[in-house]
Amino acid sequence: MGKLFGSKGGLRIELDRGSYQPGDVVNGTVYLSVSDEIKTKGALVLEINGEEYVKYNEVYGESAVPRKQSNQLLSDQLVLSDNHDSFAPGEYVFPFNYQLRSTLPASFHVDRRHAGEFCDIDAAVKYKLKLRLPVKGAFKSDIKAERPLIVKPAQTAQLVQSRTDATAKHAKLLGMIRQGNCEVSGSLERDVYVAGETLQIRASVVNGSSMDVKSVSVRLVENLVIHANRDHKKEIKAQTCLAEKDFAGVKAGATTIDQAYSLDLVGRSERFAVLPPMASSLVSTSHHVEVRCKFLMSPNVHIEIPVKILAPLVTDVAAASSQLMTDHKTKALD
């Protein structure tokens, strides 16, 4: 509730759902609680705001230049009450509805991504509901409240297909001296997975080099692309490992291993969560699976297979209630 020093009331926003999809109608209710009479100097207004941004530091030697691009996605207002000069003590209810545009990008946020000289990449699409009731009096604070509005991508039918990739490269001692060939190939029976699932990939490694493969690693990698803009004429591409599992390596000398590998599609931390692909006018994300042969003192040899990640569906009332409670935090502004 947005109750501040010097005010005699508070505001809160309740929504009928914890999240919405583009094109949905947002149905909600605003509650105004008044403890002592409030004299107003303006209407009770609900603002619906949306913004996309990307910011990062471009490093030159020991100096870093901050960069930021942003676009306004939504900036609308709903007047909930403009016929009150004052509110007597009590509870007031103001229902509202608002239709989201069908072309809006979904909410997302990633940070601490890196791509060479481009560091601390922070990208997001965020939506917010903000309330304001102007209050008369030199020492009276306006009554305010806000809460996030979560927009999730629409779940559409996905074409599921098998995928393969293969490569053959020399193991190179110190990155220069050739030590023989290492061949890696892999296949997925399907390329669409739900976050939290266990991915299965069949991979074959033929180590014809004179160096041992210390381990075979299976990784889920996020590909973040910052589209070309006024600060840089080319795309910036950042790759981040979200999940990884190591398996036994392969001895040197024409040794072959062919087996199924598994990887749980669960991020290694909250910051590196496994999320569905996102796209806005500034950035986009996608994913691929890597099978990586790791050598000591030699570059790795690996393959990459694109995959699509879907958000898990909320299938029970308890999960839906938990989601609603998480999204239902309101915040009073200073």
List the domain boundaries for the chain.
9-149, 163-310
Strands (E), 174-273: 177-188, 192-194, 198-207, 213-226, 236-250, 255-264
Q: Do the two domains 9-149 and 163-310 of this chain adopt the same fold?
A: yes
Which tens digit of pLDDT belongs to each residue from 192-210? 999 999 999 999 999 999 9
| CA 228 to chain centroid | 20
Query: H/E element holding 2?
Result: none
Q: Give me the CATH topology for the region 9-149.
A: Immunoglobulin-like (2.60.40)
Dihedral of CA 182/186/192/197: which sign? negative
Instruction: Determine the Cα–Cα distance for residues 217 and 250; give it in Å rounded to an integer.
Output: 12
- Once rounded to an integer, what is the mean pLDDT over residues 168-197? 91
Name the pLDDT band for 318 (thresholds 50, 70, 90). Answer: very low
Q: Is 247 exposed, middle or buried (0-12, 13-18, 19+ CB in 10 A)?
A: middle
The Cβ of residue 312 has, within 10 Å, a number of other Cβ atoms equal to: 12
Instruction: Determine the Cα–Cα distance for residues 325 and 21; give it in Å rounded to an integer.
Output: 18
Q: What is the DSSP letter of 191?
A: S
Candidates 1.10.565.10, 2.60.40.640, 3.90.1170.50, 2.40.110.10; correct CATH number of 163-310?
2.60.40.640
Which tens digit of pLDDT belongs to each residue from 263-285? 999 999 999 999 999 999 999 99
Phi-psi region of 23 (alpha: psi -120 to 50; beta: other; left: phi over 0): left
Give the model's pLDDT for residue 3.
39
Length of the chain: 334
Give the model's pLDDT for residue 7.
53
Average pLDDT of the chain is 88
